[in-house]
Amino acid sequence: MIRFLALSSDPWNSSSNNGSVSQPSSPSQQYLDRQRTRQLRVAHFEAIHIRLGNLRLLLVLIQIVTLWIYVRSHSFSVGWALAPSAIFIAFAIYHARILQRQSVAKRAVDFYNRGLARIEDRWQGSGARGDRFDISSHLYAADLDIFGHGSLFELLSVARTRMGEDALAAWLLEPSPPEEIHQRHQSITDLRSRLDFREDMATCSDKLQAGIHPDDLKTWAQSPLQLTNQIVRWFALSLSVLMIATAIFWGATGQRAPFFLVLLLEGVIVAIHRSRVQTVLHQAEHAFADLKLLSCLLSRIEKEAFEAAPLQSLKDSLSTHRVTASHAIARLDTIVQYIQSLENPLMRLLDIPFLYSVQLAFIADSWRHQFNSVIPQWLSAVAQMEALLSLATYSFEHPDDPFPQVLSGDPTFVATGLGHPLIPNARCVRNDLALNSEHRLLLISGSNMSGKSTLMRAAGINTVLAMAGAPIRAHSLQLTPLRVGASILVNDSLQKGSSRFYAEITRLRHIRDLATQRPPLFFLLDELLQGTNSRDRLIGAQGVVNSLLATDAIGLISTHDLAVTQLSSSLIHNMHFQDEIEDGKMNFDFILREGPVTRSNGVALMRLIGLDV
């Protein structure tokens, strides 16, 4: 037993590896160290779990023996005979806590496993894909792989609630104002090194995704109160007091008429308000189930001492009337416990004489009246925190990815060492890009498979990251606020009966309309108008270019049609990718070079695969 008690403490607490002494230098090493510590914790709790299981079995056997001795010889008092049962209950409670702590440790191991997978570029297919978001009419989400398998959302998201995922998705789908971007940079810088906080937010419960229904909570919080007549509330309370008084009066004098008169009045009140009372009690229980799960996140945010002003402001939004969100939910917990006590047959018997359910309904509605305006704030705070944690986690795991510099003035996009964040670093080829008032359009030519589409996606997805307030995959990036519009993955539609060419020109129309909005448009047009003949392609390309350059838009257009490289405008700058055929193989270096491409590889490719051309 002495050995068991020594093992019951937890020597591997969460703060043991977050000190400033001998911090590992790399994110992966920090994750590995903490993962190993949590694995030891799992093993530690497993050993206790096994010992407790054996002890509980032993207590059952002891209880059987003591009861047998008590029945046969009365050698023990009743208290001693039932002592093993009391000890068994205490061990069962402690055992449940051990299993809960082991479950948290297992979730922590999974948390660091996923982090290591992201660092080592083996994360595809292991995270939330965001498939539930409707992007059918969005002008870049599908083109830039924002959602889906191996998407940007899957790489970034560590959100555990629907509203956290919604907030992150919203940041990726619409550009944010510069002041919000700056605030997110401050918050991410503060959050990324808070490993204990990030771990706790990731492990506090295993039911957050399915258990919290933010829309239902908002509807409940903002719906009209069911019980608003305070006169009825105080009359009901008075009747409860009178019930006790008349009961005493009956016992003392034998006169029962006052008692039954009060009981009749109480029955009338219950009958009149039964429907609304049941609605209030049911809704309070249902809402509390969600708020109880939410409270573990809220209480953890409340405990953290943030340095960044935006995070402190977010934390302050969780308090109202000098009551924190977690304490407010704890009050509701008490109310719900009383509501659940109505399942007790004795409380059902006393319900009408003391108007128990009516009083509880008024109290529950009063709680909702006090906190209904701040429940949406709680949900918003958790959503923003989870979105910020997603970006902070990415920043921690990719320390070489800097924040972009958001400028004011004419539309600008100047990047050095631009890469694609969804391509593993070992295979990622980086290039420099510069778009400004002098060169507002880069016309990128090159042969098939030379890297044109990948470059456009890299430029687009980094703009999305920049406008969401996230780090970017480049050595540096300077840009003004931009709105992305892309035509890269355009396909025909059998359901709508439209060809690829019709789908493309429809997309181009939407992009042109977007160019009139603010912030300015950053357009990405891959293989412009390739679904038509060369003459119409050239005329159409010139028209599209003129239309876009008539606005403040900047962007990239790719083509393998050499004629398109002759488009005339002083604002167009030609660049290209090239290829080489060596030993019967087509080789690409994916390096962007000045000027238009001078040759194509279509015929060579056909010959390489055996076509007689």
Which of the residue ranges 236-245, 452-461, 600-609 has the most confident prediction, judged by mean pLDDT?
A: 452-461
What is the model's pLDDT at position 18? 46
Cα–Cα distance for residue pair 484/514, rounded to 1 Å: 9
Q: Which of 168, 129, 143, 167 is nearest to 522 (CA)?
A: 143
What is the model's pLDDT at position 15? 43
What is the model's pLDDT at position 378? 92
Which pTM value belongs to this model?
0.85
Would you place residue 584 in the very low, low, confident or very high pLDDT band (cuts 50, 70, 90)? low
Spell 216-236 as b/e; 16+ CB within 10 A means b: ebbebbeeeebbeeeeebeeb
Cα-to-chain-centroid distance, residue 520: 29
Please state the rounded mean pLDDT for residues 89-97: 88
Q: DSSP string of 210-226?
A: HH--HHHHHHHHHSPPS
Would you place residue 152 in the very low, low, confident or very high pLDDT band (cuts 50, 70, 90)? very high
**Identity of residue 518:** R
Higher pLDDT, 2 or 48: 48
Spatial contact of 524 and 143, defined as CB atoms under 8 Å apart: yes
Q: DSSP string of 414-457?
A: EEEEE--TTS-GGGPPPEEEEESSS--EEEEE--TTSSHHHHHH
Q: DSSP string of 8-37?
A: TS-SS-TTTT-SSTT--SSHHHHHHHHHHH
Q: Would you state the structure tokens that stand for residue 351, as one six-digit string?
A: 């319900």
Would you place residue 451 in the very low, low, confident or very high pLDDT band (cuts 50, 70, 90)? confident
Q: Strand pairing of 413-418 and 476-479? A: antiparallel
Please state the rounded mean pLDDT for residues 190-194: 95
Bond prior to 404 in cis (omega within 30° of 0): no
Does position 423 have pLDDT exceeding 90, yes or no? yes
Cα–Cα distance for residue pair 339/453, rounded to 1 Å: 61
Give the pLDDT confidence of 198-252 residue by residue, as tens digits.
999 999 877 776 667 888 888 888 888 888 788 888 888 888 888 888 888 888 8
Give the pLDDT confidence of 15-71 residue by residue, as tens digits.
444 444 455 579 999 999 999 999 999 999 999 989 988 888 888 888 888 877 777
